Amino acid sequence: MNREDFPMLAQDIVYFDNGATTLKPKCVIDKTVEYYSEYGASSHRGDYDIAYKVDQEYEGARDKVRNFIHAKYLEEIIFTAGSTESLNLIASGFFKKLLEPGDEVLITKSEHASNVLPWFSLANTNGIKIGYIPLDDNHYVTLDNVKKSVTPNTKVISLAYITNVIGDIRPIKEIVEFAHQNNIFVVVDAAQSIGHIKTDVQDLDVDFMAFSAHKMCGPTGVGVLYGKKELLEEVEPFILGGGMNESFDNEHEVYYKELPTRLEAGTPNIAGVIALGSAIDYLESIGLDNIAMYEKDLRKYLVDRLLTIPHIDIINIESDSGIVSFNITDIFSQDVAYYLNKYNICVRAGNHCAKILKKEVGVHNTIRVSLYFYNTVEEVDMLVELLLDKDKILKEML
Amino acid sequence: MDENVRREIILDHYQNPKNKETVEDARYIKANSNNESCIDNINLYILIEEGIIKDIKFDGEACAISTSSTSIMITNLIGKTIKEAQEYIDCFDAMINEREYSEEVLKEGIVYNTIYKQGNRKTCALLPYKGIRKVLEEYEK
């Protein structure tokens, strides 16, 4: 649906790599151009009209984000460069000073690198331990397994809401409830979920959450860190400089601003933030529930068709998101991706930055199709038809 | 070169790669080659004695182009002196990057002489060369 909104789809391509980044609707592209061509001044500075307009747009986008994820306060929305920066900011700005040797952070083997490496770094600097919540037979996280994994040393549980290879939607609300009963913080990497299912941070009661604009029809290079106000107050800015300081005279007299500005040093990605606001308007006009339902139906259609092909092995048959990972017997995933590229079909091949997952699922690399609402049954048919004949793939993949 | 012949050679080296085995012999120098797409990943094991490449083996996981290119490279480098090997490597690199090269030096390696048309596969064909270069430079030191 809504294909006409996406200039990229005017080309003869089938875009199935939405887990990496989504396409941008014209309204988002136009908003970026609007900023640069109509009021391209800096934010939070200047007393002239267009500077005021920038602030209105920039802070207006913050309020759109707040409303979109149902956060309580505006100050709980921090603009960053993306999920990766958000997660790093939390690990090094909050948990680094809080965690002590022997404290444990629980993650899973199916996390993206950006929800693994910041914790590995703390393991090396702070002597914390990394624990892994075991995945069930479908590679899902269950509340039971979370309960079994928690020890008296567990201080943090950090999970993707939806994982980027398996595509399972984690029971975050239940996990948070249990975690908080045990004084454990919960960090959620919402990169893969934010544009696909409704998010209500107050209902979930998560402590911190990270996401990127570009995976929700917004521009690249901008993202959000959400944190409960009382926790964000404790976050040490890890980037210092202009915009975030109140005053300074010498190294002993430095005063930082209040939230959220304190954590947004330097001239921000103004165009990106404003365009993220447009992406939110756009997604809300379609409706997150409609998007989720559409994706689920299309995914089922794709999986049902793939299941009829004997040389295809699906890693995640059951999954509620739009992600399908599979392999073709005896053909390297990258070769399949190159083959499909010859028909202008864009899919991802590889380990999708989930490098510790391979031991868990026993497969190193996969072909990943990640759907979005602008994908169609016809596109799925085209893909499936091209995968029916293994000899054809072998013949044409080079 | 006839397209069918080209495909047959590449597929044969992909499906039945030569010298593909893990080596646990300390006399061999080990080098890893991987590329940015974080997917192709091969190890090379090279035995050099008195300036001559006596043996090369490889293991790992990689696409058809990388695997076949490794198999062909190894077949052509065994028995060569370091200098001859470097000449071969430079020649292959020249072909991939559309500079002048000698077909005679490359032998079966010329099956990749049209790979430049698929920019994103150039790195696949060059993958084993990254590893072997590292080893030869190290050896020269």
Mean pLDDT, residues A280-303 taken together: 97
Q: Residues 311..370 of A with a Cβ closer than 8 Å to B: which?
A: 332-335, 338, 349-351, 353, 355, 364-365
Q: Is A353 a catalytic residue?
A: yes
For B121, the closest chain A residue by CA position comes to: A338
Three-state SS at B49: strand
Q: What is the pLDDT of residues A333-376, one digit of tens each?
A: 999 999 999 999 999 998 766 666 766 666 678 899 999 999 99
Closest-CA residue of B relative to A367 is: B39
Give the minimum alpha-carbon distance from A82 to chain B in angstroms, rounded to a whole number. Answer: 21
**Residue B38: what pLDDT?**
56
* pLDDT of A312 over the 90 cut: yes
Of A326, A392, A391, the closest CA to residue A361 belongs to A326
Closest Cβ–Cβ partner in A350, A397, A398 for B39? A350
Residue A386: is its pLDDT beyond 70?
yes
What is chain A's mean pLDDT, rounded?
93
CATH topology of domain A26-285: Aspartate Aminotransferase; domain 2 (3.40.640)
Asked if residue A245 lies in contact with residue A257, where contact means CB atoms within 8 angstroms, the answer is yes
Q: Is A398 on the interface with B (CB under 8 A)?
A: yes
Please name the residues in contact with A71: beta carbons below 8 A apart, sequence gap of 6 or more: A65, A77, A201, A202, A226
Cα–Cα distances (Å) from A119 to A187, A231, A335, B114, B130, in that order, read 12, 18, 34, 45, 32
DSSP H or E segment with residue A210: strand A208-212
Largest separation between any pair of C-alpha atoms in chain A: 73
**Domain with B129 in it:** 3-140
Cα–Cα distance between A216 and A21 in angstroms, integer? 8
CA distance A389 to chain B (A): 17
For A269, residues 6+ apart whose C-beta sits below 8 A from its C-beta are A79, A81, A219, A221, A222
Select from A191, A216, A203 the least CA-distant residue to A72: A203
The answer to whether A303 and A382 have CB atoms below 8 angstroms apart is: no
Closest-CA residue to B58 (of B83, B38, B30): B30
Q: Pick the closest to residue A64 from A274, A207, A246, A265 (CA basis).
A: A274
List residues bridging with A244 in a β-sheet: none
The ipTM is: 0.76
Decide: A220 and A211 in contact? Cβ < 8 Å.
no
Q: Evaluate whether A132 touches A149 at the Cβ level (below 8 Å).
A: yes
Q: Scan for tokens 């609707």, then name that residue.
A: A25
Instruction: Tell me what pLDDT residue A352 has.
Output: 63
Determine the residue among B7, B39, B120 to mutate to test chain A binding: the one whose Cβ has the most chain A Cβ atoms within 10 Å. B39
pLDDT of residue B73: 96
Tell me how many residue pairs between chain A and chain B have CB atoms under 8 A apart. 39
Residues A49-64: pLDDT tens digits? 999 999 999 999 999 9
The pLDDT of residue A90 is above 60: yes
Beta bridge partners of A254: A248
CATH number of residue B51's parent domain = 3.90.1010.10
Q: What is the pTM of this model?
A: 0.88
Q: Which of A27, A217, A346, A353 is catalytic?
A: A353
Chain B CB within 8 Å of residue A397 CB: yes
pLDDT of A212-243, one tens digit each?
Answer: 999 999 999 999 999 999 999 999 888 888 88
Collect all residues of chain B within an 8 Å Cβ-Cβ radius of residue A397: 64
Residue whose token pair is 């409706």: A287
Distance, in Å, from the CA atom of B112 to the CA atom of A316, rounded to the nearest integer, reads 36
Name the DSSP letter for residue A261.
G
Number of compact structural domains in chain B: 1
Cβ-Cβ contacts under 8 Å, B10 against chain A = 398
Set of chain B residues whose Cβ sits within 8 Å of the Cβ of A17: none
CATH code that applies to domain A3-24+287-396: 3.90.1150.10
Across the interface, whether the CB atoms of A334 and B11 are under 8 A apart is answered: no
Amino acid at A206: V
Q: pLDDT of A122-180, one tens digit each?
A: 999 999 999 999 998 888 999 999 999 999 999 999 999 999 888 899 999 999 999 99
The full set of domain ranges for chain A reads 3-24+287-396, 26-285
CA distances from A326 to A106, A135, A373 (A): 27, 18, 21
Cα-atom radius of gyration of chain A, to the nearest Å? Answer: 22
Closest CA to B74 of B46, B105, B51: B46
